[in-house]
């Protein structure tokens, strides 16, 4: 017997009152603001405060199709949020309550901030977003790694974040489908020659397969798992990372790769003269990640080889190389795969839009295949500026 039932605006209000977050007598407004594809998101507002109640739905709806999806992901998201809140409290929403049976997490209302993707499309620059996101990634990844926890604790924690169904979505949509003529792909007819060329690029496929193997087998740390600019609430002064339902133990380079890929894809939607802040973000997120990871490495490290000459440098270089590849894959799949980014899709002029998408595809493929040649974020930006 399942204790799960989908909330309504009425039952969501009753719940937050029962939990004492609001007085019984208070008049509350409640609006469901989710996209309804995977989750309900209730925004509940009283006279002085407000909360978010997020509930997982037992299915996923994408392009009209619906398939069953584990409710377990709500529990994974809730536990990931709590861990991330421990390592990076400034960049994580506060959690008030969670219920595994109902698959809900009740958390801080962040609607005073803006989803970063939306803001970036509207021309915001968020001067601190790269600093904050770099710290978030370094702290949450390092904090859940073998280095911080020791291998025994890490293995036990890793075992509580087995997330096969959500990983399956990433394995399909990011790492596989865009490289084959798969039903899930979605691209404009004008891109077909480019896409068919990509499907025939067996060197690209080999590199995609190598990166996929890393994703399937490398358990470095607890990843956010879906850290694009749509998973970040931001303002000029604050940054909050939300929605870690894809969290699992994966390779160190994955999260930073998705963040930088989405910055680059936003850059495609801007005039060259307005791209500088995005380029700066790519460099900053890497600088901050590297500095913070290094600080934590030197401060709190259970690894006997921690001070071995060259080990940290080798590890950081390895993370950079894999991240460059993951970044390229994200650029490809956001252009021709199932889930697009509004940054590219909302370019109104068709020729400009197609050219941006072609650039996204060819730059993506380049970063995947040539990832071993890149050793610094400055080089990534230089290559991006130069175009292909």
Q: Residues 332, 198: contact at Cβ < 8 Å?
A: yes
Exposed / middle / buried, residue 340 (Cβ in 10 Å: 0-12, 13-18, 19+): middle
> What residues from 71 to 90 belong to the interface with its own copies (CB under 8 A)?
none
The response to whether 109 counts as a known ligand-binding position is yes
89 is in an annotated binding site: no
The C-alpha angle with vertex 247 and arms to 245 and 250, in degrees rounded to 5, equals: 155
Q: Which residue has the tokens 């509940």?
A: 44
CB of 289 to its own copies, least distance (A): 18
Q: b/e for 286-307, b at 16 or more Cβ within 10 A? A: bbbbbebbeebbeeebebeeee
Does position 305 interact with its own copies (CB under 8 A)? The reply is yes
Considering only residues 199 through 228, tell me which ones interact with its own copies, judged by CB under 8 A: 202, 205-206, 208-210, 212-213, 216-220
What distance lies between CA 122 and its chain's CA centroid? 20
| Nearer to its own copies (CB atom), residue 211 or residue 227 | 211
Task: Please indicate if the annotation marks 110 as binding a ligand.
Answer: yes
Contact between 236 and its own copies per CB under 8 A? no
CB of 210 to its own copies, least distance (A): 7
Query: Toward its own copies, which CB reaches closer, 59 or 305?
Result: 305
Q: What are phi and psi of 88, to 5 degrees?
A: -140, 65
**Has 262 been labeled as part of a binding site?**
no
Site for its own copies in 95-154 (CB under 8 A): 146, 151-152, 154
d(CA 186, CA 356): 16
Q: Report the SS3 class of residue 303.
A: coil
Residue 325: Cβ within 10 Å count = 24
Residues in the chain: 388
The only residue of 200, 310, 348, 387 in contact with its own copies, by rule CB under 8 A? 310
Stretch of 117-125, 165-173, 183-191, 280-288 contacting its own copies, by CB under 8 A: 165-173
Output the six-digit token pair for 56.
Answer: 């997982």
Q: Are 105 and 81 in contact (CB under 8 A)?
A: yes
Instruction: Please tell me whether 287 is known to bind a ligand.
Output: no
- Piece of the chain touching its own copies by CB under 8 A; list 40-48, 61-69, 86-94, 198-206: 198-206
Question: Is residue 351 near its own copies by the rule CB under 8 A?
Answer: no
Burial class for 247, CB neighbours closer than 10 Å (0-12, 13-18, 19+) = buried
Number of residues that bind its own copies (CB under 8 A): 40
Q: Does 243 belong to an annotated binding site?
A: yes
Please tell me whether 333 is known to bind a ligand: yes
Cβ closest to its own copies, residue 123 vs residue 310: 310
Residues 375, 231, 213, 148: is their CA dihedral positive or negative? Answer: positive
Binding site for its own copies (CB under 8 A): 146, 151-152, 154-156, 158-159, 162-165, 167-168, 171, 176, 179-180, 202, 205-206, 208-210, 212-213, 216-220, 303-305, 308-311, 314-315
- Binding residue numbers for ATP: 39, 54, 108-110, 243-245
């Amino acid at each position: 017997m399942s204790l799960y039932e989908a909330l309504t605006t009425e039952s969501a209000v009753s719940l937050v009152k029962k939990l004492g977050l609001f007085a019984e007598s208070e008049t509350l407004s409640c609006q469901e603001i989710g996209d309804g594809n995977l989750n309900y998101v209730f925004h509940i507002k009283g006279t002085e405060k407000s909360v978010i109640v997020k509930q997982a739905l037992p299915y996923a709806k994408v392009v009209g199709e619906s398939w069953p999806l584990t409710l377990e992901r709500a529990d994974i998201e809730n536990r990931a949020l709590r861990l991330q809140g421990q390592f990076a409290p400034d960049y994580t929403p506060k959690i008030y309550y969670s219920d595994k049976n109902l698959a809900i997490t009740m958390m801080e209302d962040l609607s005073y901030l803006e989803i970063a993707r939306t803001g970036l499309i509207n021309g915001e620059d968020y001067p601190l977003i790269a600093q904050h996101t770099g710290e978030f990634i370094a702290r949450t990844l390092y904090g859940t790694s073998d280095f911080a926890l020791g291998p025994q604790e890490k293995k036990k924690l890793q075992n509580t974040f087995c997330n096969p169904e959500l990983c399956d979505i990433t394995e399909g949509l990011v790492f596989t489908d865009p490289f084959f003529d798969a039903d899930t792909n979605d691209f404009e007819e004008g891109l077909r020659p480019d896409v068919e060329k990509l499907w025939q690029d067996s060197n690209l496929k080999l590199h995609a397969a190598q990166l996929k193997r890393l994703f399937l087998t490398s358990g470095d740390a607890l990843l956010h798992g879906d850290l694009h600019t749509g998973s970040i609430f931001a303002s000029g002064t604050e940054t909050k990372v939300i929605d870690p339902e894809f969290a699992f133990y994966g390779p160190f380079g994955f999260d930073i790769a998705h963040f930088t890929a989405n910055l680059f894809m936003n850059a495609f939607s801007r005039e060259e003269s307005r791209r500088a802040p995005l380029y700066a973000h790519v460099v900053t997120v890497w600088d901050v990640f590297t500095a913070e990871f290094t600080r934590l490495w030197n401060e709190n490290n259970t690894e006997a080889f921690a001070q071995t000459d060259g080990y940290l440098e080798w590890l950081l270089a390895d993370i950079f190389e894999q991240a460059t590849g993951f970044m390229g894959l994200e650029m490809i799949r956001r252009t021709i795969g199932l889930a697009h980014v509004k940054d590219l899709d909302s370019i109104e002029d068709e020729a400009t839009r197609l050219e941006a998408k072609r650039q996204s595809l060819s730059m993506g493929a380049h970063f995947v295949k040539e990832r071993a040649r890149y050793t610094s974020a400055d080089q990534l930006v230089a290559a991006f500026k130069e175009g292909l």
